[in-house]
Structure 1
Amino acid sequence: MSVPTLDKSVNIVKNRDQVVTTLASLIEQVSNDRIQKHSVFNIGVSGGSLVAFLKEGLPKIQTDFGKWRIFFCDERVVPEDSPDSTYGQYKQLISALNLKENQFVTIKQGVSAQEAAEDYVRKVAQQFPQDAIPKFDMLLLGMGPDGHTCSLFPGHKLLEERSKWVAAITDSPKPPPSRVTLTFPVINNALYCVFALCGKEKADMVKRILVDGEDLPATRVKPNGGTLVWIMDEEAGKYLK
């Protein structure tokens, strides 16, 4: 698979297929670079349409999936066999990519959101240098119709969280209400933060974030010393031309 030249933060491609291909190629490029330098690729994933993008695109790339550690940018506090479980959705990739279940860093089952968040931050901390904010190689982020990303919603107090790396939320405006989520100190410490999206229904929110600069959660994704990449089709990016 050819590697795209993403020399700008916003990349508008023709259609959904090209969104999938461009995203997969960027992941291949960064994965191989990080594995060569550090023998591991730490990637955080989100749910929604991203699952389908990765299911289609990742089997076509050339990289050592055995060196991947896969985290969740946020997760719903539900059983793993629930249709709301993001990890449950990603289990489809295990056989397709020859992954092992222990490569996924998952939330603890059968506990409250607060307990799950406390447990998850310990699991994350074990994979990174001690006493330093985790620096993910790549975070694949989603953008909701209200401009939320991870489980950080407009107007919510978690937008201002500065000390916790992983936080619990029990009043999510989008069901299910109980979740755990990465916070902005971790998100904005990543090497790459990537939004991939398509469809005309995304166009208005893309404009509000990238043209109007409205203060929405997705607008606050600004990696410190890292790279922010948006990949979208022409329908989603129609106001950017």
Structure 2
Amino acid sequence: MAGRRVVVFPSSADLGPVLAQLVTSRAEKAISAHGRFTLGLSGGSLVSMLSKELLALPELDCSKWVVGFCDERLVSFDDPESTYGLYKNQLFSKVNIPDSGILSIDPSLPVNECAEDYSRKLKETFPDGNFPVFDLLLLGMGPDGHTCSLFPDHPLLEETKKIVAPISDSPKPPPQRVTMTLPVVNSARCVAFVSTGGSKATVLKEVLEGREGSAFPAARVVPTSGQLFWLVDDPAAASLTIQVERPSSGAKL
């Protein structure tokens, strides 16, 4: 697959600093090219890893960042399931991202209206083209191969027109969520999956080495004209037989 790089680290502790470097180098490139850096975030273990590593960087300047969410659970911001709430506590409150640069859902709305409202915010932020083009999307993958809130065998995998879709029957609680659709994900200039831990080994092998048309949603992330990174640790990569990159200490992507 053209443009895909699978990069393996001994541990998640080794992966974290390289992830932060990827984010800041993409930010620098984007701000130089078009005056801002647009970043899509996912939840799960990525929140603490990214927050810790970015805050460890000297002179981190986020004043020209615009941050959205690849998916979000329809819960209040003070709920521990809120991805926005976690990032606000662990990262946003400690850096200089302007409030206007954080694109969050309105959790007070019913799920369909919430998706429409969030879609409107994205369209206002990305007025050109049919789909938003983020500079970088950071994604995770569940043990079932889901990414964002796009789950195996779910009808939303076939969505081609909506930017943001509602989901009321998520097999993973909470059931009500909104999610970017595959056309938005695949429009990004760069997509980076972060996948760690031995529980991901079997599905990671299937996603990266499996047949065309894999049933796993993560396998359907193939940026149209952007780059695709898979940043994984040794336990997650344990079953892989494809050629991978193993960067030396201090390497940059």
Give the TM-score, by structure 1 length: 0.93
Partner of 1:67: 64
Deviation per CA, 1:120-168: give whole Å up to 9, x if none: 0100001113343110001101101110000000000000000101000
- Kindly indicate whether residue 82 of structure 2 is the aligned counterpart of residue 85 of structure 1: yes
1:236 matched to 2:233? The reply is no
1:119-130 matches, within 5 Å, as 119-130=117-128
Question: Does 2:26 align with 1:33?
Answer: no
Deviation of 1:100 (Å):
3.5
CA contact (8 A) 1:120 1:166 kept: yes
Equivalent residue letter for 1:98 = N
Shift of 1:53: 1.1
What is the match of residue 112 of structure 2?
114
Instruction: Write out aligned runs for 1:131-146 (5 A).
Output: 131-146=129-144
Residue 54 (structure 1) aligned with residue 50 (structure 2): yes
- Cα offset, 1:102, TM superposition: 3.1
Could you tell me which runs of 5 or more consecutive residues in structure 2 were left unpaired when the two chains were aligned: 242-253
Q: 1:70-114: per-residue Cα shift (whole Å, max 9, x none)?
A: 100000111111111110000121233233433210111311110
The DSSP-based 3-state class of the residue aligned with 1:17 is helix
Alignment partner, residue 162 of structure 2: 164
Given that residues 148 and 218 in structure 1 are in contact (C-alpha distance below 8 angstroms), is that contact kept between their aligned partners in structure 2?
yes
Separation (CA, whole Å) in 2 of partners of 1:131 and 1:224: 14
2:4–2:227 contact (8 Å) kept in structure 1: no
Matching residue's letter, 1:66: S
- Of 131, 138, 145 in structure 2, the residue corresponding to residue 147 of structure 1 is 145
> Helix, strand or coil for the counterpart of 1:168?
strand
Contact 2:64–2:97 (CA<8 Å) still a contact in 1? no
Other-structure match for 1:3? none
Aligned length: 235
Q: Does 1:17 align with 2:13?
A: yes
1:177 to 167, 175, 200: 175
Supply the distance in 1 between the matched residues of 2:68 and 2:145 (Cα, whole angstroms).
Answer: 22
| Match of residue 225 from structure 2 | 225
Say if 1:28 and 1:131 are closer, same or farther in 2 by CA, change over 3 A. closer
CA RMSD of aligned residues (A): 1.4
Task: Provide the C-alpha distance between the structure 2 equivalents of 1:54 and 1:198, rounded to a whole number of angstroms.
Answer: 13
